[in-house]
Chain A
C-alpha cells in the first residue's frame, strides 16, 4: 500500500538555527500534502497545506516566514523551521492524498 515517509524521526537543534523536515510519498504522486503540529497529549493541528508547484496555504495563526514549506516535486514536501526557538519544540506530522497516509512524525527539540 501507499506509504508516506517522514525524515528525520527526531532532531535536536540549537536555538536560532533552521531545521528541515522531509515528507515523501514513496509509491504514489501527491499533489497535496498536509503538515500538522502536535503538542504533548494534544490533538493534531493543521499548520498548512502544501501544493505541488505553488505556494502553500497556511492556517490562521501560523507564521509562514517561520515555517517554510516547499513542494517542488510530486513526491516531496519539506517543512523548514527557520530561526528555531524552544517554543517550536513539538511533534510534526505530514500526510498525503487521503486519510490513510500519515508520516511517522518528527520530534523536534530546540535547545
Chain B
C-alpha cells in the first residue's frame, strides 16, 4: 500500500517570502504521479502542481515549484513570493496510474500567509 506523509501540520510565512512544504511517500512502484493540491476555506480541491516520477526535471508552475527526490521518496513544494491568497490547506498526493487512478493523500499542511 502507498502511504503519504506530511510532517508539518501547520506553517506560516510572511507575505512575499518563500516557504517549503514537505512530503514523503512510500511505494514500491517505479511509475507513478505526485501532486500538490490546495484546499482553501471553500473546500474546493485545486490542483497546484503535478510531477511524473519518470521525469527527472522538477515541475514548476509560476510561483510554485517542487523538489522531487525519487530515491529519497521526497516531494516538497516551494511557494515563492507568498500571497495572502495562498492561505489554505495543502495536500500532497500519490497516484499509481492504470489502477483506476486512485489517489492517496497526505494528512495536509495548513499554511497561513501573514500580511
Q: Is A49 an interface residue (CB 8 A)?
A: yes
Flag if B101 contacts A43 (CB, 8 Å): no
Contact B47 A97, beta carbon cutoff 8 Å: no
Contact check, A102 vs B108: say whether CB atoms are below 8 A apart. Answer: no
Q: Is B59 an interface residue (CB 8 A)?
A: no
Which residue from B35, B104, B107, B110 sits with its C-beta under 8 Å from A99?
B35
B64 interface contact, C-beta 8 A: no
Task: Pick the residue among B43, B47, B105 that contacts A105 (CB under 8 A).
Answer: B43
Q: Which of A34, A43, A100 is close to B102, meaning CB atoms less than 8 Å apart?
A: A34
Rounded to whole Å, the gap between the CB of B18 and the closest CB of chain A is 25
Chain B residue total in the interface (Cβ 8 A): 21
Known pairs A91-B43, A95-B45, A104-B44 / 5 extra A-B pairs, C-beta < 8 Å:
A43-B105, A43-B108, A57-B100, A93-B45, A99-B93
Which single residue of chain A is at the shortest CB-CB distance from B6? Answer: A43
11 A-B pairs (CB sep. < 8 Å): A41-B108, A42-B108, A44-B91, A46-B104, A49-B100, A93-B43, A95-B45, A99-B103, A102-B44, A102-B45, A104-B44
CB closest chain-A residue, reference B45: A102
CB distance from A10 to the nearest CB of B (A): 10
Asked if residues B33 and A105 are in contact (CB atoms below 8 Å), the reply is no
Indicate if B113 sits at the interface (CB-CB under 8 A): no
A43 to chain B, nearest CB (A): 5
A46–B102 Cα gap in the complex (Å)?
8
Measured CA separation A67–B10 after assembly (Å)? 32
